[in-house]
Amino acid sequence: MEKISLKAPAKINLYLKILSERPDGFHELETLMQAIDLYDDITLSPADEIEFSCDDSRLPVDFTNLAVRAAIQLRDKYYFPGVKIHLSKKIPYGSGLGGGSSDAAFVIRGIVNLYQMKIPGTELLSIAASIGSDVSFFLSNGQALARGRGEIIEPVNMPLNYHVIVIMPPVFISTAQIYKLLKNSLTSTNANILLNKKLDDQRFMRLSERFTNDLEHVVLSQAPELSVLRRYLSDAGCFFCSMSGSGSAFYGLFSNSNAKLNNEEELEKQGYRIYRARPVLMPLI
């Protein structure tokens, strides 16, 4: 195979509970995630070494880039000659939408396909978990409950017939700093939201009333100007809105495909980026 092209989706955290700090420095969490059709584009081709290029100069091109790390760690365990990776970045950097983790997972998916490798799914999940907390999710079918530090994946069955508006503010949030500030306000209990059966539209909407993100109040304490994003989404008619991951993007879920923010043009003039998306499923690896 000469070349393979992949679309790596973003994700939203429908809820996120931070339960405790672990001895390894990570946090025990419980989160419900859904993939959405906002994509980074990845092209892979065979090479003698691992090479990486990107159309966004802000991203590192060395081992600190999760996509590069994914290729290196996969080759360390299951040899292949090399791969040339080109990333066209669409998912905003530092948004909490999981772009880096998705890129890493889809590099793994792509290399396995490119070289026709036969690797057990459990082994790929183990490699994914060693790269980053959300990478395992992007080897799932696109909707899952994640526990541990994000590497324990439990499939769920949720509806897909709603619409998503994402607002990305011109504000960078340090994930490490947010978790450091969280130390004194851990929830210590899981969400106890029953997801063991297929959710129809009405039950999903009712459950969404209980969804919360434990990191949101910490982010808003550092960037209080972002609190207005909730109001913008609510005024547009969403049935649920939240911050995704550790921010700084906020999103709203809408039943109406024609939903529009009242002040959308003004927000864009101020440097905010608005994305419209739908929930999607991904092929299992």
Among all residues, which ones are annotated catalytic?
A: 11, 134
Q: What is the 3-state secondary structure (H, E, C) of the chain?
A: CCCEEEEEEEEEEEEEEEEEECCCCCEEEEEEEEEEEEEEEEEEEECCCEEEEECCCCCCCCCCCHHHHHHHHHHHHCCCCCEEEEEECCCCCCCCCCHHHHHHHHHHHHHHHHCCCCCCHHHHHHHHHHHCCCCHHHHCCCEEEEECCCCEEEECCCCCCCEEEEEECCCCCCHHHHHHHHHHHCCCCCCCCCCCCCCCHHHHHHHHCCCCECCHHHHHHHCHHHHHHHHHHHHCCCCEEEECCCCCCEEEEECCCCCCCCCHHHHHHCCCEEEEECECCCCCC
Spatial CA neighbour of 74 closest among 110, 98, 99: 110
One-letter amino acid identity for 108? Answer: I
Separation CA 146–CA 17 (nearest Å): 10
CA atoms within 13 A on the CB side of 275: 23
